[in-house]
């Protein structure tokens, strides 16, 4: 199993690989969140969905270059079913969503443009219920909905992503353009998003989980678990280095608890989670 330090260095250094092996389940239903999950002003109007999917492949390759997908197909299928159900509650249900479990002891989860979401086996081992999984996946889905990673790479690296994708499709310095895109995301995953993006994803994540029928306090429960761990643990270094502290995230979420309380009796599905993830033990 890859150690946390290896994952961190791989995110920074490994070359681009093609995304492969993610299980894609049939979409379950479409629920429009309307104003509840209103998408903000788009900073990437020039990037159409086809281009976003191409960019997402390069961003996902950075993550899969750092650690492989877990080999258990039943586990991958389970996480895809949960993730796809939650994604159908978003304003972008028609993206070709793909969810994958990365085999590493590092405790983290990642998103890439176009609907790619990854969670590490290390984080799955910490969770106690499907509601907790739903909250974490909802957080990552929110990053995709709001195009947080696209905006961050465009702004920090000053890259015209749309033009670069078009150039690569026309074989105009294809490898150089794809490497520039990959390098932008490699830097982003090691640096992290803006704190406001993470707080927004937390807020949207609990809403998505609630709309999917889960107890919305799954994500706060995960944050409480993370907050109780030793911050010096090397498996937490990348997560804690790229996100606000669990205490800060919980403090921001607390203001929404009065609205969430009415959904607190929804499904936790702790036993089903244990059954579906028992191969991790």
Segment 58-98, tens digit of pLDDT:
999 999 999 999 999 999 999 999 999 999 999 999 999 99
Sheet architecture: strand order including 98-102: 98-102, 116-120, 109-112
Backbone angles phi, psi at 12, to 5 degrees: -80, -35
How far is 58 from 142, CA to CA, in rounded Å? 20
Instruction: Decide if 231 contacts 177 (C-beta within 8 A).
Output: no
Closest by Cα among 143, 141, 108 to 222: 108
CB-based burial, 79-117: b 16+ in 10 Å, e otherwise? bbbbbbbbbbbbbbbebebbbbbbbbbbbbbbbbbbbbb
pLDDT in tens, 156-181: 756 666 566 666 766 667 677 778 88
CA 229 vs CA 69, 127, 236: distances in Å: 25, 13, 9
Q: Where are the domains of the chain?
A: 4-12+44-276
Please give the model's pTM, rounded to 2 decimal places.
Answer: 0.82
* Helix H or strand E segment including 279: none
HSE, CB side, 13 Å, CA atoms: give it for residue 190: 18
98-102 vs 116-120, strand pairing mode: parallel
By CB neighbour count within 10 A (0-12 exposed, 13-18 middle, 19+ buried), where does 275 fall? Answer: exposed
DSSP 117: E
How far is 9 from 111, CA to CA, in rounded Å? 18
Residue-level pLDDT, tens digit, the chain, 281 residues? 444 334 434 433 333 222 333 333 333 233 333 332 333 333 334 678 988 998 899 999 999 999 999 999 999 999 999 999 999 999 999 999 999 999 999 999 999 999 999 999 999 999 999 999 999 999 999 999 999 998 988 877 566 665 666 667 666 676 777 788 888 899 999 999 999 999 999 999 999 999 999 999 999 999 999 999 999 999 999 999 999 999 999 999 999 999 999 999 999 999 999 999 999 98
Residues 6+ apart with CB under 8 A from 256: 203, 206
Quick one: tokens of 216?
């919305």
DSSP 261: G
CA 38 vs CA 10, 88, 90: distances in Å: 35, 15, 10
């Amino acid at each position: 199993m890859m150690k946390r330090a290896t994952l961190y260095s791989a995110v920074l250094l490994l070359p681009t690989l093609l995304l492969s092996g993610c299980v894609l389940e049939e979409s379950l239903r479409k629920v429009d969140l309307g104003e509840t999950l209103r998408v903000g002003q788009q900073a990437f109007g020039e990037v159409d969905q086809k281009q976003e999917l191409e960019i997402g492949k390069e961003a996902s390759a950075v993550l899969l270059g750092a650690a492989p997908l877990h080999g258990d197909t039943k586990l991958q299928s389970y996480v895809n079913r949960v993730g796809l159900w939650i994604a159908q509650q978003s304003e972008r249900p028609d993206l070709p969503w793909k969810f994958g479990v990365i085999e590493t002891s590092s405790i983290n989860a990642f998103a890439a443009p176009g609907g790619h979401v990854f969670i590490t086996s290390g984080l799955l081992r910490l969770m106690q219920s499907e509601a907790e999984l739903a909250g974490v996946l909802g957080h990552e889905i929110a990053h995709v909905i709001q195009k947080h990673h696209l905006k961050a790479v465009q702004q920090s690296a000053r890259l015209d992503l749309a033009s670069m994708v078009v150039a690569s499709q026309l074989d105009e310095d294809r490898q150089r353009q794809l490497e520039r895109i990959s390098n932008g995301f490699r830097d982003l995953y090691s640096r992290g998003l803006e704190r406001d993006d993470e707080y927004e994803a937390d807020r949207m994540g609990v809403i998505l989980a609630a709309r999917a029928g889960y107890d919305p306090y799954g994500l706060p429960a995960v944050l409480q678990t993370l907050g109780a761990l030793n911050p010096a643990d090397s498996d937490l270094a990348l997560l804690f280095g790229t996100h606000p502290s669990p205490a800060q995230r919980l403090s921001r979420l607390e203001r929404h608890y009065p609205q969430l309380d009415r959904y607190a009796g929804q499904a936790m599905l702790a036993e089903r989670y244990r059954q579906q993830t028992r191969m991790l033990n």
